Structure 1
Amino acid sequence: MEAVILFPAIDLKNGQCVRLEQGDMTRATVFNLDPADQARAFAAQGFEYLHVVDLDGAFAGQPMNAHAVEAMLKTITMPVQLGGGIRDLGTVEAWLSKGVARVIIGTAAVRDPEFVKNAARKFPGRVAVGLDARDGKVAVQGWAETSEVTVLDIARRFEDAGVAAIIFTDIARDGLLQGLNLDATIALAERISIPVIASGGLASIDDVRALLAPRAKKLAGAIAGRALYDGRLDPATALALIRDARAAV
């Protein structure tokens, strides 16, 4: 089993650190006015990889919270994966040159798969694909639209392109603390060779335990958002569980 990573999430809206419910921009809770301060806190808690989404960018189709992202990159040394509004090679190159470890491409993976393949070939291991599903169909444009293609259809397009990971989000659960949709996520991971990261709904230490269970061995990790912010998931306990699982391997 590869080392499972628990990614703490910072979602950016108007330069602030927020969490949405089911991807709805009108249902946003502000958790920190200073994203760099939040990133520093996650680093201090012992997390090893940060997940950042520019929500405004996802809707606008271009980076909208660059200032906040750059402030985070200056503040912490842990790697950052960044999504939201990354739709062309110039934006990919700009973020990677500024110190982002890997970019996450969502909408463009549906609309312009060739762009993703080109980016992944040019920057091997530094391009991830974000697939956000509503009832198994992929949603785009900051989840404002649902396409007619399935997650598996799109994931398979990138099988030999050098994509670092697929981040699979169940929109119905996102921000609602109902638990990860591990059945769907594991089913996807078992049918492709690209590492899959679970996202949406992680609620408690039970989700972390489930992530470390043998049936989830193909998963590369999970993203934790609201559960970390409202105290339902204790970082020290979660990270200790993961460390113990690694040591046992």
Structure 2
Amino acid sequence: MAPVILYPAIDLKEGQCVRLKLGDMAQATVFNDDPAAQAAAFEAQGFSYLHVVDLDGAFAGKPMNAAAVDSILARVKMPVQLGGGIRDIATVEAWLAKGIARVIIGTAAVRDPAFVREAANRFPGQVAVGIDARNGFVAVEGWAESSELSATDLGKRFEDAGVAAIIYTDILRDGILAGLNIEGTLALAHAVAIPVIASGGLASIADVKRLLQPDCAVLDGAITGRALYDGRLDPTEALALIAAGRG
């Protein structure tokens, strides 16, 4: 069984660390105005991999929180995966050159699949696809627009592209602590050979225990945001549980 990785999330909006509700930029709660300090706190708690999203970049189609990301990279040693506004090879190259371990391509995966293939080919192991779905269908442009493409169909497009991982987010659960959509995430994981990371709704230690059940062994891990910031998920307890491998 592959080790479950719990990825703490830092979502960046106007240089601050925020969490959204249901992907709505108008429903943003600021949790820390110093993203680098937040990243350092996560590292000190024992997390081994950080998930960062440039929310403004996702809407603008280009990096918008570069200074905040730079400050995070300067502050922590753990690998960082980054999504939001990554729409061309130059942007991929720039982030990887700065020290980002893995870039996440979302909207462009729908609009320009050839770009994903090129990026994955040029940077093996360093390109992930972000599939953000509402009722099973992919949303793009910072979740503002829905497409007619199913999450599974999009995932299958990149089956042979060399993509390192798929981050699957259920938008209708994101930021509301409703629990992970295990059923939908497992359906995608079984449909593709690419490692899948669950995102959206992780609410408590019960979700972590669920991820450690045998049927979830196919998953790479999960992203947690609001539950950590709200104190509903104790990082020490969660990481100890994962280390012990108990269900």
TM range (shorter): over 0.9
Please state whether the residue corresponding to 2:2 is helix, strand or coil: coil
Aligned-residue offset at 1:218: 0.3
Tell me the residue number matched to 1:47. Answer: 47
Q: Does 1:58 align with 2:79?
A: no
1:113-151 per-position Cα deviation (integer Å, ceiling 9, x unaligned): 000000001000000000000011000000000000000
Tell me the residue number matched to 1:69. Answer: 69
1:181-220 per-position Cα deviation (integer Å, ceiling 9, x unaligned): 0000011101110000000000000000000100111000
Tell me the residue number matched to 1:34. Answer: 34
Aligned-residue offset at 1:232: 0.1
Q: Does 1:204 align with 2:204?
A: yes
Q: Hey, what's the Cα distance between the residues in 2 that align with 1:129 and 1:23?
A: 18
Q: Hey, what's the Cα distance between the residues in 2 that align with 1:117 and 1:242?
A: 33
Q: Hey, what's the Cα distance between the residues in 1 that align with 2:229 and 2:100?
A: 23
Q: Does 1:115 align with 2:115?
A: yes
Q: Hey, what's the Cα distance between the residues in 2 that align with 1:130 and 1:33?
A: 26
Q: Hey, what's the Cα distance between the residues in 2 that align with 1:135 and 1:19?
A: 21
Tell me the residue number matched to 2:128. Answer: 128
Tell me the residue number matched to 1:185. Answer: 185
5 Å-filtered alignment, 1:72-221, equals 72-221=72-221
Q: Hey, what's the Cα distance between the residues in 1 that align with 2:157 and 2:26?
A: 33
Q: Hey, what's the Cα distance between the residues in 1 that align with 2:215 and 2:170?
A: 19
Name the amino acid aligned to 1:147: S
Q: Hey, what's the Cα distance between the residues in 2 that align with 1:42 and 1:91?
A: 26
Tell me the residue number matched to 1:15. Answer: 15
Name the amino acid aligned to 2:7: F
Q: Hey, what's the Cα distance between the residues in 1 that align with 2:56 and 2:107?
A: 14
Name the amino acid aligned to 2:22: Q
Q: Hey, what's the Cα distance between the residues in 1 that align with 2:192 and 2:21?
A: 29
Question: Aligned residues: percent identity?
Answer: 71
Q: Hey, what's the Cα distance between the residues in 1 that align with 2:80 and 2:162?
A: 19
Name the amino acid aligned to 1:231: G
Q: Hey, what's the Cα distance between the residues in 2 that align with 1:244 and 1:162?
A: 31
Aligned-residue offset at 1:12: 0.1
Please state whether the residue corresponding to 2:191 is helix, strand or coil: coil
Please state whether the residue corresponding to 1:202 is helix, strand or coil: coil
Name the amino acid aligned to 1:97: A
Name the amino acid aligned to 1:27: Q
- TM-score where L is the length of structure 1: 0.98
Q: Hey, what's the Cα distance between the residues in 1 that align with 2:93 and 2:61?
A: 16
Q: Hey, what's the Cα distance between the residues in 2 that align with 1:39 and 1:204?
A: 20
Q: Hey, what's the Cα distance between the residues in 2 that align with 1:7 and 1:161?
A: 24
What 5-or-longer segments of structure 2 have no aligned partner?
Answer: none
Please state whether the residue corresponding to 1:190 is helix, strand or coil: helix
